[in-house]
Structure 1
């Protein structure tokens, strides 16, 4: 099935405005130091005006006030969606290409997230690429992390496509948007810590070493400007937990000699270790986003043919987070606020998508993760990943908003420093 693509309004003039602002600041700084005292005062006034206007401009164009929680809201109709299709994007895996695989209903594509009391702008590829110019963004975690990256690359595909710069000796895949010198990285690490695979997939016992982080990503931290941590679902699997080279517990192992340990306890230990590893790298000055848990929507036991048959979003009163999903979410929040409250050096941000995605049971591939010729009686419906295009595209709306806020804060900081310098020189 094909869709007619509706192009998103360009933010060309907004992008040029931001670039112009930074160029203006640099030029004015040069004039500031090159001028005489009288000229200096006049130049300082011009700089102040430029900086103030820049800060006010970004704040005016931001989607929300400081007090608006963009993660609390509801899904509302969006007749302009989607902003790409399975025929315009090269990055879609077949297992998430619901349209190609014959999904007959298109209503799940026609929604957007609207926060309570404010608006969240749709993803603007030109603005995004200008804001992340000369940077590297790493998506670290499980297959939902990859799902997010592919969604973002699809949203960018209407503007520019990247070059595959993956190297055989690297433990990750990477693509570069050469005209912006922007690189994205996909690094698989479903537990964030070192683990041994079971002999039988999905039915065996994993061995997790909770105090030994996965070096495939920790060894690369200094190369990244943005890190997006995305994990959780794999902790529902049966596992034996190790710390300090000894077994400390297990989940689903059926061994009477091993202490039963809630999987979310082990998840919390791993997340805390990940945060500490990032903070220990003195050369890393970037931003780390913790993407909170994205619930699946199996109605029944997934191994027994459960499906996600709903065809519209839930309202906020129609569903609630509970059980393992609630435990994972609360554990992630606990560890995030622990690191923030301790005043750690590096910046951590919460990409709190759990509530929004809980309300989208209609956005999964279900049986349309496979073409008709590949569906068998034993095929498991996919109610975990997200169709592309689909609700997961909103994750990049949230991400862009948060990066814009970072840039706005930097402008205010520059403004404050220059005002202090001017005051000291009078």
Structure 2
């Protein structure tokens, strides 16, 4: 309902009936006497409608937000942050630039390497029934004061992590305390708030092994153990308060699948004696294993997010045969929706999430859905394409998977802040054994 506008009351219609007349002793015709029951119902109905109209009018300006569960479908007058449109805002300013005091991976540093258009920075996300507030670094750091937050997943998860570090740098200088040169495992400290932000590389969430690590390529056949969670993150959970899991693009590569230590099939392995199994099964099992591991933890009180599938936008071919992403403005939601394999990836992970969330409620485990997919399917303009690496590097493929920084990926952290605020104060019961200084990040 639009604020400040009164909706007209539509009175209920009545059904026309034939009225029986009676004749008096003097021969005059009279209609039968009207009993009170004939007008009590219409009058009562009218009164109820008037009261409802006045009530709705008085509260039409109030914004309602989905409960902390963060489900992707809302109902009634509640606002679903994740359903909306991208709106051009010429006055919109970025939260940081390529000259800010934070680390932007060169592969996503579009402005540094000469992207000529800037309109892709001017679009803001507008939910259908409410507003998404701008990101406030001070507010975020106050919400997470004394806590640790980990991004667990692949390079797109790292993309969001670096975006958050840069957004927070406006308030507090991030100190890199990783003690490693491996950029896949990072740890940033914000001492004034006793807050630690961590990136843990686990691109498939479950255990993997490279048979030939010395000759690893995009097409190397890897072993994937679908029923064993990756120790890279399971070994660190006791020291983490908030986790954000995400993965997607790695599942399209060749794999040999294992369960209970035995080969059950493969994907793109081209071996006649091994059964070809759909990548969607592997994707489902990876999340089932992840959530089962979390549900089986003893006395774990952390807050767990699943950030949903991040779609790629290659057009005119794949990454290695002429594909690119040269659009300079978003699609509308009428032009582009999740479909095909992207919808399958999204549905697969969300179905596993919902099952785990239901079980988690029984155990007091908080699982939340950071549902970015519908918003990002429209942002074909937000990828680096050929502007995410030095111009002299002519051998690099176009990148239509990751997101420019700054860019639409920053909206994910606007979502994150609102979801953390929905949890309310004291949303995490700090346990004595957690110690953010003991994270062993290789």
* TM-score bracket for this pair, using the shorter chain length: 0.7 to 0.9
In the alignment, structure 1 residue 270 sits paired with structure 2 residue 283: no
- CA separation in 1, counterparts of 2:114 and 2:146? 40
Task: Name the counterpart of 1:260.
Answer: 276
Task: Name the counterpart of 1:406.
Answer: 423
In the alignment, structure 1 residue 289 sits paired with structure 2 residue 305: yes
1:167, distance to aligned residue in structure 2 (A): 3.5
- Max radius of gyration: which structure? 2
Q: 1:337 pairs with 354, 369, 373, which one? A: 354
- Counterpart contact for 2:383–2:401, Cα < 8 Å: yes
In the alignment, structure 1 residue 349 sits paired with structure 2 residue 363: no
Task: Name the counterpart of 1:328.
Answer: 345
- CA separation in 2, counterparts of 1:390 and 1:193? 30
- CA separation in 2, counterparts of 1:91 and 1:256? 46
Task: Name the counterpart of 1:245.
Answer: 261
1:205, distance to aligned residue in structure 2 (A): 1.1
- CA separation in 2, counterparts of 1:185 and 1:233? 21
Q: Which TM-score applies when normalising by structure 1? A: 0.79
Q: Which has the higher helix share?
A: 1
In the alignment, structure 1 residue 138 sits paired with structure 2 residue 135: no
Task: Name the counterpart of 1:93.
Answer: 105
Secondary structure, counterpart of 1:340 in structure 2: helix
Secondary structure, counterpart of 1:307 in structure 2: coil
Q: 2:192 pairs with 163, 179, 189, which one? A: 179
Secondary structure, counterpart of 1:355 in structure 2: helix
1:240, distance to aligned residue in structure 2 (A): 0.8
Secondary structure, counterpart of 2:223 in structure 1: strand
Instruction: Please give the residue correspondences for 1:85-124 in structure 2 after superposition, counting only pairs within 5 Å.
Output: 85-124=97-136
**What CA deviation, in whole Å up to 9, does each residue of 1:297-346 have, x standing for no partner?**
01121111310011000000111222321111000111011112223421
Task: Name the counterpart of 2:241.
Answer: 225
- CA separation in 2, counterparts of 1:364 and 1:97? 10
- Counterpart contact for 1:102–1:368, Cα < 8 Å: yes
Count of aligned residue pairs for this structure pair = 350
1:195, distance to aligned residue in structure 2 (A): 0.7
1:257, distance to aligned residue in structure 2 (A): 1.6
Secondary structure, counterpart of 1:74 in structure 2: strand
Instruction: Please give the residue correspondences for 1:27-42 in structure 2 after superposition, counting only pairs within 5 Å.
Output: none
Secondary structure, counterpart of 1:372 in structure 2: coil
* Change in 2 beyond 3 A, CA 1:168/1:97: closer
- CA separation in 1, counterparts of 2:331 and 2:412? 18
- Counterpart contact for 1:196–1:206, Cα < 8 Å: yes
- CA separation in 2, counterparts of 1:366 and 1:281? 41
- CA separation in 2, counterparts of 1:308 and 1:408? 42
Secondary structure, counterpart of 1:85 in structure 2: coil
- CA separation in 2, counterparts of 1:400 and 1:63? 16
- Counterpart contact for 1:191–1:235, Cα < 8 Å: yes
In the alignment, structure 1 residue 81 sits paired with structure 2 residue 98: no
- CA separation in 2, counterparts of 1:258 and 1:293? 29
4+ residue segments displaced more than 4 Å: 60-63, 168-171, 408-411
Which runs of 5 or more residues in structure 2 are unaligned?
A: 1-60, 68-77, 429-442
1:372, distance to aligned residue in structure 2 (A): 1.7
Secondary structure, counterpart of 2:320 in structure 1: helix
Q: Which TM-score applies when normalising by structure 2? A: 0.76
- Counterpart contact for 2:63–2:79, Cα < 8 Å: no
Secondary structure, counterpart of 1:367 in structure 2: coil
1:65, distance to aligned residue in structure 2 (A): 6.1
- CA separation in 2, counterparts of 1:237 and 1:61? 48
Instruction: Please give the residue correspondences for 1:144-159 in structure 2 after superposition, counting only pairs within 5 Å.
Output: 144-159=156-171
- Counterpart contact for 1:63–1:119, Cα < 8 Å: no
